[in-house]
Structures are given as structure tokens and as C-alpha cells.
Structure 1
Amino acid sequence: MRRLAQLTPFLIATLLLATAARSEAIVPKPFTAVYEVSYRGMRAGLLTLKLSRDGATGRYTYETTADPSMLARFFISSAALEKTIMEIGPDGVRPLEWSFEDGKSSTEKDGHLKFDWDRNVATGVVEGKQIELPLEPGLQDRLSITVDVVTSLLRGEEPGTIPLIDNNKIKRYDYAKKETSSMDTKLGKVDTVLYESTRQNSDRQSRFWMVPKMEYLAVRAEQVRKGKVETVMVLQSFEQR
């Protein structure tokens, strides 16, 4: 390995710039996005995604709320809330606390996890089961993984494989860039890049049409099972703060 003194001034400057860029976290701006959701061709209602930042702590909150259609109310409540609290630093997204409440009187489907990065353990209760799992670098929850993907892309990095806590297991999702295309949306015609998410030994697949010029906002998302599209989300409105 070359010694630092042997490096040319140009290379030294490049290293210094890279170090400076690494020390400053590149983060997505807070936003609110509303999607129309359909399941197997039937309208299921609206889903609102909101990313906010606490100015006092610097922590980020990402949450989803639903406005289900009449038929979908049999399956999901308008009071349902899923939320994650995160830190976003030079090394990416680190979840601190995740929770899900299905909005019903029973708590059997609810969940809550705390990520203790000092002790490297995640603990909590999900669907009535006690959870205690070891943490590992890059580990995400069901919501923070979305912010982690966007943050990686904003930094010019590919998401690659991301470990995720889902219920009482750690699963690994592979994100791969597929193709670029133009798409007509509620916001007008936009240039998108398609990313696909897959998991080994799973028959499910997720697709995201993201807009690089809008901080990789997804204007369309699909969940596919056994080669058939089941759930579709289409962007209806977007506000960035």
C-alpha cells in the first residue's frame, strides 16, 4: 500500500473531498405523499406516507396512515398507524423504534420494537410474540427500509442487499436496478428508474418506479406474487417541505 506522502496532490485533494462528503449526511427532505391503492384490480382506498424531522433531536419519523374504501374497511381500519423513528447519519439510516397499530380494539395484530444499538439487540412484542433479535449493520424495519433505499440512491450508492426485521425473523431483500422510462403521472410526465426488490426462496416481488429528479420518490409501486400483480400504488399528490 502506498504511503500518504507518495500520493499526488490531486489524489490527496480527492481523498479529502471524499472524507468531507462522507462526514455530512445526505438525507431526504421531509414530505407528504398520497397514493391510491388497488388490490387485484379493486380500489382499496388511499395511503398517506409522511416523513418529518424533529428539529430538537434531529431524528426522523416516517409513518403511514390509511383511508380505506368501503370494501377495504373489512380488512384495515382508518385508525391504523405504522411508524418508525430513525437517525440518519453519514453511514445511512438507523431505526430506533418501530410500531404498528391496526386501529382495532384487539391488540393481537399490533407490534412494537426498540433498537438498542449500544447493546446490539432489538426487543419488543409483535402479534403477541416476544421478540429479541441481534442487531447487525444496516438492519432496518418494515418502514425504515424505504428511507434507507432512498438515502443510498441520493448518495450515489446502490441499495444492494438490506437486512430487515419482519415479525420475529431477519430477512434479506435484494434491490436491483432494471430500466428507465418516461411515465405519465398526476404530477405530469416524469423520467423514472425501475427498481425491483426480491427475497431468496420467496414468490413475492416488489417494483418501484422512482423519479431521480424528485429525490427518488416512487410514483408507482407494485407487489407481485407468483408472477401476478396483486397490489398497486399510484401517486396522487406530493408535498415537500
Structure 2
Amino acid sequence: MRRLARLTTFLFATLLCATAARSDAILPKPVTATYEVTYRGIRAGQLTFKLTRDDATGRYTYETTAAPSMLARFVISSAAVERSVMEIGPDGVRPLEWSLEDGKSGADKDGRLKFDWNANVATGEIEGEKIELPLEPGLQDRLSIQIHVVTSLLRGQEPGLIPLIDDNRIKRYSYVKKETTSLDTALGKLDTVVYESTREGSNRQSRFWLVPKMEYLAARAEQIRKGKVETVMVLQSVQ
């Protein structure tokens, strides 16, 4: 479950060269995308990511659900849901609430966070541990970081170094553009830009093949540990 959840931390309209005033108004569009997942070459099932917007409040909800293979059901439940509620304004993405329900009996692997931007504190509980961390500009949760990356690229900005609450502390991930390439997918050949995400002191890295003409949706994502590809996600469908 955690391996798949870590990769979802890192998943992500042509790059717009707009003025600062116009870029503030650029917002991601609602989307539902489904990925086929393999772990060390073994099929693990599918993950679906859904971004919606509440017209009444202007808030966005981003959630992921799983349809694990028979073997992967020992690791992740089909009832597992990870969700982030956020607002997007001139300063970018600000998470408001994050939750993870692993879909199994008991709550020892579940998590929840509330972001109070007035008091500048995030509080909650993750895997039974109480969390209270100070907020800082640009701080994200494990799902909102994906929307932050997309929103930044849509506004003509590089994601750069992003602080993230993961487990019980703040970690910092760097996103660097590596190359452009074409990729054969279930949706045909897609032109992509490849980004690599790393964290200082970690032996893991992630690579994403983002599609500019699809608002930087990831056509493929890989998680690499000690130089070896472990988890691969490949785009199957988009709504």
C-alpha cells in the first residue's frame, strides 16, 4: 500500500507563456485518469485519479482509488481511498484537508490532516501518530503536490523545490526537467516532457512523462529505488 501511495505522491494544454496577471487565472481542468500499475514487472492492478471542482465554493477535490489485481489485494484494498481538498489562487495550490483510508478493518494505517492557513499549522493523525507541524509557503500534501506541479507548468513556471508533509514530517522534493520525447500509449503516440523528482538523502527517485497538450497529465510514471525501476504506472484512459 505504501509503495503505491508514495508513487501517487508524485503523479501529474500546452505550456502557456502568459503575463503574470493572466497566469494567476489559469486553473487545471477536472479530469479522471486510469493507470495500469506493475511492481517489479508483476501486474498490480489499476489506480484511478479524479480531479473535481465545486462551483459553489471554488474548491478542488483530488482523490485516488484502487482496483488491485488478485495478488496485490494482499497489499492494497479495493476500498482504499486517498483524498485531498484544496483551493487554487494567485499564489498557487493550498491544501485544506487530506485523508487516507486503507479500506481494511481498523484505522492503524489511516491518516488525516487539516491545514489551518490562518493559524499556520497542520494538525491530524497518521498511522496512529498525532501530527502538528508549522505551515510554510507552498507546503503540499501527498496528492495536492500533483496539482501544484500541473498548475505551475500551466502558468509557465517550473515546479522547483516543493515542501511536502509525508508521514510525520516535512520533506522537500526537487522537480527537474530532463528531456522531451514521444511515447507510444493506449491513446496513441503522445509528445511528452520528462521530469525527474528527487529528495536529498533518499535512494528513491521518480520520473514522469507529462503530456503538455493534455494539461501535463502523466502518460507514464516510474519509481526507481537504488537505480532499479520498481513501480511503473502507464496511462490507460482519460475522461
Same fold (TM over 0.5): yes
Aligned to 1:20: 21
Structure 2 CA distance for aligned equivalents of residues 63 and 125 of structure 1: 19
Deviations 1:171-205 (A, max 9, x none): 00000000000111111111100000000010000
Aligned to 2:95: 95
Structure 1 CA distance for aligned equivalents of residues 213 and 48 of structure 2: 21
Aligned to 2:8: none
Q: Secondary structure at the match of 1:105?
A: coil
Displaced runs of 4 or more, over 4 A: none
Aligned to 1:33: 33
Q: CA deviation at 1:18?
A: 3.7
Give unpaired runs (5+ residues) of structure 2: 1-17
* Higher RCO (CA 8 Å, separation ≥ 6 residues): 2
- Which amino acid in 2 is paired with 1:176? V
Q: CA deviation at 1:26?
A: 1.1
Identity percentage of aligned residues: 76
Structure 2 CA distance for aligned equivalents of residues 43 and 95 of structure 1: 32
Aligned to 1:158: 158
Q: How many residues align?
A: 222
Aligned to 1:235: 235
Q: Secondary structure at the match of 1:157?
A: coil
Aligned to 2:77: 77
**Normalised TM-score (structure 1):** 0.91
Structure 2 CA distance for aligned equivalents of residues 46 and 29 of structure 1: 22
**Normalised TM-score (structure 2):** 0.91
Structure 1 CA distance for aligned equivalents of residues 52 and 25 of structure 2: 16
From the CA coordinates, give the structure whose radius of gyration is larger: 1
Q: How big is the alpha-carbon RMSD for the aligned residues of Structure 1 and Structure 2?
A: 1.0
Aligned to 1:110: 110
Deviations 1:48-67 (A, max 9, x none): 00000011100000000000
Q: CA deviation at 1:20?
A: 3.1
Alignment pair present for 1:207 and 2:207:
yes
Aligned to 1:49: 49
Alignment pair present for 1:226 and 2:226:
yes
Structure 2 CA distance for aligned equivalents of residues 36 and 79 of structure 1: 17
Q: CA deviation at 1:19?
A: 5.2
